[in-house]
Amino acid sequence: MKYECKIIEVRDQPVLAIRTITAVENLPAFFGEAYGSIMRYLGELGEQPVGMPFAAYYNLDMKALDVEAGFPVARNLPEKGKIKSSKINAGKFGITLHTGSYDSVGPAYEALTDFVKQKGYDPTGVAYEYYLNDPTEDPSVKPETEIRFPLK
């Protein structure tokens, strides 16, 4: 698959998220619990997300992934238990779109890494994935994942 990559500039984005350390095989359960908890809490607040769910990966240790799952929100909101209020910092990001299964995103990461280095940037080491659709709602749809690297 050929990946179209580009550099974008983004503003600070408030988020509500849950962060944990978990093995890669536990990600589906973690994401289900985290996204469900955050959506219920947003409902309690009378708020809605302002974008698609995301995951931030702070390392690539498949046995002990440091991962955060959350939603962008319109403004800073109060925290509740494991649900933390934070932000994705403004700056330049390299981005690309992967269409297909979540476990086949490796080539997209490689293409984006090569692209940002060719443009003279270094990734910070954090990787964001935005899940643009939900194939569980419509099995005929292929998953679309936007991958973002904050850049130094």
Q: What is the CATH number of the domain that holds 15?
A: 3.20.80.10
Count of CB atoms situated within 10 Å of the CB of 94 = 22
pLDDT confidence of residue 52: 96
CB-based contact 70:79 (threshold 8 Å): no
For 41-61, b where at least 16 C-beta lie within 10 A, e where not — what string?
bbeeeeeebeebbbbbbeeee
pLDDT score of 134: 82
Give the start-end residues of each E strand in the chain.
Answer: 5-10, 13-22, 54-57, 65-72, 84-88, 91-99, 127-131, 144-150
> Do 71 and 42 meet the contact criterion of CB atoms below 8 Å apart?
yes
The range of the structural domain enclosing residue 145 comes to 5-150
Quote the number of domains for the chain. 1
- Binned at pLDDT 50, 70 and 90, residue 8 comes out as very high
pLDDT digits (tens, 9 = 90+) for 48-66: 999 999 999 999 899 999 9
Tens of pLDDT, residues 64-108: 999 999 999 999 999 999 999 999 999 999 999 999 988 899 999
- Give the pTM: 0.94
Q: How far apart are CA 5 and CA 116, in angstroms?
A: 8
In terms of C-beta distances under 8 Å and separation of at least 24 residues, what long-range contacts does 138-143 make, across chains too? 142/99, 142/100, 143/99, 143/100, 143/101, 143/102
Neighbours of 27 (CB within 10 A): 18
